[in-house]
Amino acid sequence: MLIVYLITVVLTYGGISLFVAIFAVTPIIMVLFKEADIPRRLAIGAFVAGSATVSMTAMPGTPALTNVIPTRFLGTSITAAPTLGIVATIMMSVMILVYLKWEEGRLRKLGEHFSYIPGTDHTMYEVDRATLPSATLSFIPLMVVVGMIIGLKGLIPNAAALIVLAMITASVVALAFFWNRIKDKKATINTGLGGAIGAIAGPCAVVAFGTLVQKSPAFIDVVAWINSFQMNPYWTGTIATAIISGVTGSSSGGLTITLQTFAEQFKTSGANLPILHRLISIAAGSLDSLPHSSGLFIMFSWLGLTHKEGYRFVGVVSVIVPLITFVILTTSVIAMGL
């Protein structure tokens, strides 16, 4: 369970979209869960925990959209409030791993065992590990991404441009290292470019949707309702982001709409903007994972699961844990007068 969680965190922190990471991590899940005889339905919990929590919202420098969007509106950097981010990462990781281990024991007592994804060829997961590239070599592209983000943030203030440059460089490094291992080079590159179109279209759709939502009478009423409470700006930011992310079923969508609406208000509120950046990023990764979230359907389908079989685990690791985290941290930040 720990290995699957950490591998997913590493991949997504290295810039791989969770919608792509599921394809890369599934063979690892099948091998490890079979050896440990862990029910396959628990895999969705471990994967979502690794891809949609700490590496998406809390870890300083993560290239995830949820961490990049606030930089556009608040003028912060992608390494905003690093200490707070590290504390949040530790908090969420501990709660997630304790919970998943408890669920593993509970399912064992119920007599559940590992099963392959229905309709798949089991032999595809039988890989001779001696033929795999060294772990050291495999981690170098990731280190390139993280190293460039941290080392060049002073020279390239535009967070989005820095991340694009870092990921292009890491992609070139990966191709150079593993070129001879790629059997069908043309098909591989075309598949990657094709996936990029979807990655670009997604944020574009989010921005367009956010613009339309802002013009609706109902949304104007929601904004007025939130402002009527006259809350601390940290609470306004986290609560508004969580609610709107829940409505849209998207953390990036919720953040974009919230900041399009409240960014100027936040800037004049006197709040510490890097801290606000980190808090609202974490809040965006909470209610965005409610059952209607479109991304969940892809992951459930790929693992051969239904919401009934696996949403329980997703709800705890990706909704309840981030909710607890941002509530505790927001309360603490306000209490300390930060």
Q: pLDDT tens digits for 172-209?
A: 998 888 888 888 888 888 877 776 776 677 667 766 76
Say how many residues make up the chain. 338
Q: Which of 293, 287, 320 is nearest to 307 (CA)?
A: 293
Q: What pLDDT shows up at residue 192? A: 75
Angle at the Cα of 253 from the Cα atoms of 223 and 64, rounded to 5 degrees: 135
Show the DSSP H helices in 37-121 as ranges.
43-51, 65-74, 82-109
Q: What pLDDT shows up at residue 186? A: 85
Q: What pLDDT shows up at residue 272? A: 95
Helices (H) and strands (E) in the chain, counts: 15, 0
Cβ pair 283, 245 in contact under 8 A = yes
* Structure-model confidence comparison of residues 229 and 76, the more confident one: 76
DSSP state of 116: P
Q: What pLDDT shows up at residue 206? A: 62
Distances 189 to 21, 22, 133, 137, 197 between C-alpha atoms, Å: 17, 19, 20, 20, 13
Q: Does position 81 have pLDDT exceeding 90, yes or no?
A: yes
Give 16-67 pLDDT, tens digit per residue: 777 778 888 888 899 899 999 999 999 999 999 999 999 999 999 898 889 9
**Region for 15 from its dihedrals, namely left if φ exceeds 0, alpha if ψ lies in -120 to 50, beta otherwise:** left
Cα separation, 8 vs 60, in Å, equals 17
* Structure-model confidence comparison of residues 156 and 94, the more confident one: 94
Q: What pLDDT shows up at residue 257? A: 86
Q: Does position 143 have pLDDT exceeding 90, yes or no?
A: no
Give the pLDDT band of residue 14 (cuts 50, 70, 90).
Answer: confident
Across the chain, mean pLDDT equals: 87
* Structure-model confidence comparison of residues 222 and 303, the more confident one: 303
Q: Where are the domains of the chain?
A: 2-116+133-335
φ/ψ (deg, to 5) at 127: -115, 135
| End-to-end CA, the chain | 36
Q: Does position 141 have pLDDT exceeding 90, yes or no?
A: no
**pTM reported for the whole predicted model:** 0.81
